[in-house]
């Protein structure tokens, strides 16, 4: 049996920096929203109903093959630091972190599978992959969903499909998100063009931690808006079609920067690396910004000694929850800035 | 020199990561810079999520001004009123989809450009379009998928025809045209099967 502390020692599969187009596509994620038939949605569920639901779903999930190393975290009894830690790893949402009452998350397969219980919907099933691997993620989540359906009767409507608490998720209940690192599009001021084009074809763009968050570190999540009226595979295909276009555009801008603004680019990358290697205190915001430049530099072979996986990992492990988990105690913002700088120096071989 | 990030307006401690700008007549009327925690506490993140649905619900209401004074509907299962759904933009239970059907159809069409699910179905759920009549909302029922599938509901064509009639009465001809196509398809499917 593993626990949260075991997760802290390593990082999830999706952060490895491997997989197709992983220089730009950090991860591919699919989630399905599902509700148990005959039960009230969480919008109106009483404490008792929530407790019953969590118990019923936990039991149902026990018979489902989620792969090795599974773990269930009952969030009601979990410390704020641990909850924050899980959110930073994209294993739970901010809503689940802030919710009250009985709720939890089942995690498996080196964090590539996470099933949130009692979030906005009874179940939020998530599969994550490193790089651009949407079809693979879909095949896996489809299988898991079938297995869960055999244990828990889903709320399903003959006309509208899977029923969800929010009408924006009804139908397939499926949200596909691809996390992209787009520093060159930002530097060359092309990013707004991309956003406008995406919104015209009904994709939404959000920051690193989902809805309502700013895109820090030049990370952007692209997802489908509509969930009803198209089969799942068509939704997967629509993102599989559009993401390579963005990847190509970002690569083009990277090459252009490397050719036409070589000195400015090198200056930015090496300054960022220098600060990260030697700073004694650093804020989360500055870290994101500088790591973004270092990630770009490492992809463009300006920093061959720094592995892409190391940088990916630092984006997550320098977050407040992770730092406090590592230190084993709550830290003030000032203490976090010191701990963060120390962690980065260690990982990047500074002094 | 470290670039100083703007700190949260409320706690003045964490960096501001949520930036809210409210516009009216192309002018910024409100700007807020908050950290995640404070934005959550003030309900701003939830509000941003909800605004899309609320806005769409508002539009639908305007369209139906003629019937504005109609009585509020209450779901017999979860007790939610249609007016509460409008305020929360979240359903209380799966039956609400049928209880508020009239509004739900228009809302789903607005959000997704469609009302009809064409993706995967739980094993045992009927393939064709069954009646979305009362009680048919949940297939499979609480007794398990296999059993529930047996009580596969009535005629999909009849149900669509009912909707078509409604659409014509409401002079929603765009929708009526779509429904006519679907009736044709459903009939073809039925004949193909029998």
Which residues are paired to A15 by β-bridges? none
Nearest Cα to Cα of residue A230 among A150, A171, A147: A171
Task: Determine whether the interchain pair A167/B111 forms a contact, defined as Cβ–Cβ distance below 8 Å.
Answer: yes
CA dist., res. B44 & res. A235, Å (int): 29
Provide the whole-model pTM: 0.78
**Assigned token pair, B146:** 């296999």
Interface of A with B in 62-91 (CB under 8 A): none
Whether the CB of B59 is below 8 Å from some CB of chain A: the reply is: no
Residue A317, min C-alpha distance to chain B (Å): 17
pLDDT for B8-31, tens place per residue? Answer: 787 777 777 666 665 555 555 567
Q: How many CB atoms lie within 10 A of CB B41?
A: 14
State pLDDT tens for residues B163-190.
Answer: 777 776 666 666 766 777 777 777 766 6
Question: Is the Cβ–Cβ distance between A41 and A35 less than 8 Å?
Answer: yes
The mean predicted confidence, pLDDT, of chain A is 93
Give me the mean pLDDT over the A314-334 stretch. Answer: 94
- Per-residue pLDDT for B132 more than 80? no
Task: Report ipTM (2 d.p.).
Answer: 0.90
Nearest to B53 among A167, A212, A285 (CB): A167
Rounded CA separation B126/B117 (Å): 12
pLDDT tens for A218-240 read: 999 999 999 999 999 999 999 99
> H-type helices in B22-150, by residue range?
36-41, 44-63, 82-88, 96-99, 101-112, 145-150
Task: Give me B30's structure tokens.
Answer: 């409100």
3-state helix, strand, coil in chain B (%, to 5): 50, 10, 40
Q: How far apart are CA A196 and CA A65, in angstroms?
A: 41
The answer to whether A41 and A139 are in contact (CB under 8 A) is no
B48, B114, B129 ranked by CB distance to A229: nearest: B114
pLDDT of residue A210: 59
Q: What is the pLDDT confidence band of residue A67, given thresholds at 50, 70 and 90?
A: confident
Q: Supply A337's token pair.
A: 């800035």
Write the pLDDT tens digit of every residue in A72-126.
Answer: 999 999 999 999 999 999 999 999 999 999 999 999 988 999 999 999 999 999 9
Task: Give me the pLDDT at residue B134, please.
Answer: 37
Q: Is residue B141 classed as helix, strand or coil in its secondary structure?
A: coil
pLDDT in tens, A176-187: 999 999 999 999
Residue A291 near residue A299, CB atoms below 8 Å: no
What pLDDT does residue A4 have? 84
Of the candidate ranges A10-14, A345-349, B140-144, the one whose mean pLDDT is the lowest = B140-144
Pick the more confident residue, A168 or B49: A168
Token reading at A346: 């260690």
* pLDDT at residue B119, as a whole number: 96
Residues 6 or more apart whose Cβ sits within 8 Å of residue B128 = B156, B186, B189, B190, B193
Q: Which residue of A has its CA nearest to B4?
A: A286
Query: Which chain A residue is nearest to residue B17, measuring alpha carbons?
Result: A214
Q: Residues 236 to 265 of A: which have CB under 8 A from any B CB?
A: none
pLDDT of residue B42: 67
Interior/surface letters A200-222, b for 16+ CB within 10 angstroms, e for the rest: eeebbbbbbbbbbbbbbbbbbbb
Q: Which residues of B touch A44 (CB under 8 A)?
A: 78-80, 92-93
């Amino acid at each position: 049996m593993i626990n949260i502390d075991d997760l802290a020692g390593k990082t999830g599969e999706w952060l490895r920096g491997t997989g197709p187009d992983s220089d730009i596509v950090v991860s591919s994620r699919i989630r399905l929203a599902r509700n148990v038939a005959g039960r009230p949605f969480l919008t109106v569920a009483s404490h008792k109903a929530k407790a019953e639901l969590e118990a019923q779903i936990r039991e149902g999930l026990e018979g489902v093959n989620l792969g090795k190393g599974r773990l269930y975290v009952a969030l009601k009894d979990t410390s704020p630091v641990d909850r924050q830690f899980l959110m930073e790893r994209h294993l739970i949402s901010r809503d689940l972190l802030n919710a009250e009452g009985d709720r939890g998350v089942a995690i498996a397969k080196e964090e590539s599978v996470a099933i949130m219980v009692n979030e906005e919907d009874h179940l939020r099933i998530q599969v994550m992959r490193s790089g651009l691997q949407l079809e693979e993620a879909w095949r896996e989540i489809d299988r898991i969903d079938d297995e869960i359906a055999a244990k828990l009767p889903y709320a399903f409507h003959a006309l509208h499909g899977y029923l969800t608490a929010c009408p924006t998720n009804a139908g397939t209940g499926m949200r596909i998100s691809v996390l992209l690192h787009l520093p060159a599009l930002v530097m060359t001021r092309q990013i707004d063009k991309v956003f406008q084009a995406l919104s015209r074809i009904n994709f939404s763009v959000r920051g690193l931690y989902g809805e309502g968050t700013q895109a820090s570190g030049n990370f952007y999540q692209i997802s489908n808006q509509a969930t009803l009226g198209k089969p799942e595979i068509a939704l997967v295909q629509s993102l599989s079609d559009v993401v390579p276009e963005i990847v190509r555009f970002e690569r083009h801008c990277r090459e252009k920067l490397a050719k036409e603004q070589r000195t400015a680019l090198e200056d930015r990358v090496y300054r960022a690396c220098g600060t990260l290697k030697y700073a004694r205190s650093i804020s989360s915001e500055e870290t994101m910004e500088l790591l973004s430049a270092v990630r770009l530099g490492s992809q463009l072979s300006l920093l061959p000694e720094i592995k892409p996986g190391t940088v990916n990992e630092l984006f997550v492990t320098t977050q407040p929850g992770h730092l406090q988990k590592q230190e084993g105690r709550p830290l003030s913002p000032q203490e976090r800035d010191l701990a963060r700088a120390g962690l980065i120096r260690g990982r990047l071989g500074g002094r | 020199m470290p670039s100083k990030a703007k700190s949260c307006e409320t706690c003045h401690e964490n960096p501001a990561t949520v930036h809210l700008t409210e516009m009216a007549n192309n002018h910024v009327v409100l700007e807020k810079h908050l950290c995640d925690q404070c934005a959550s506490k003030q309900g701003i993140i939830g509000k941003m999520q909800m605004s899309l649905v609320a806005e769409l619900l508002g539009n639908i209401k305007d369209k139906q001004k003629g019937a504005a004074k109609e009585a509020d509907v209450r779901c017999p299962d979860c007790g939610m009123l249609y007016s509460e759904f409008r305020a929360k933009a979240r359903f209380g239970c799966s039956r609400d989809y049928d209880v508020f059907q009239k509004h739900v159809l228009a809302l789903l069409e607005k959000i997704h450009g469609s009302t009809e699910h064409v993706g995967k179905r739980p094993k045992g759920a009927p393939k064709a379009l069954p009646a979305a009549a009362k009680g048919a909302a949940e297939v499979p029922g609480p007794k398990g998928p296999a059993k529930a599938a047996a009580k596969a509901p009535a005629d999909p064509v009849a149900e669509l025809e009912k909707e078509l009639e409604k659409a014509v009465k409401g002079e929603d001809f765009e929708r009526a045209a779509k429904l006519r196509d679907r009736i044709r398809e459903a009939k073809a499917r039925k004949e193909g099967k029998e």
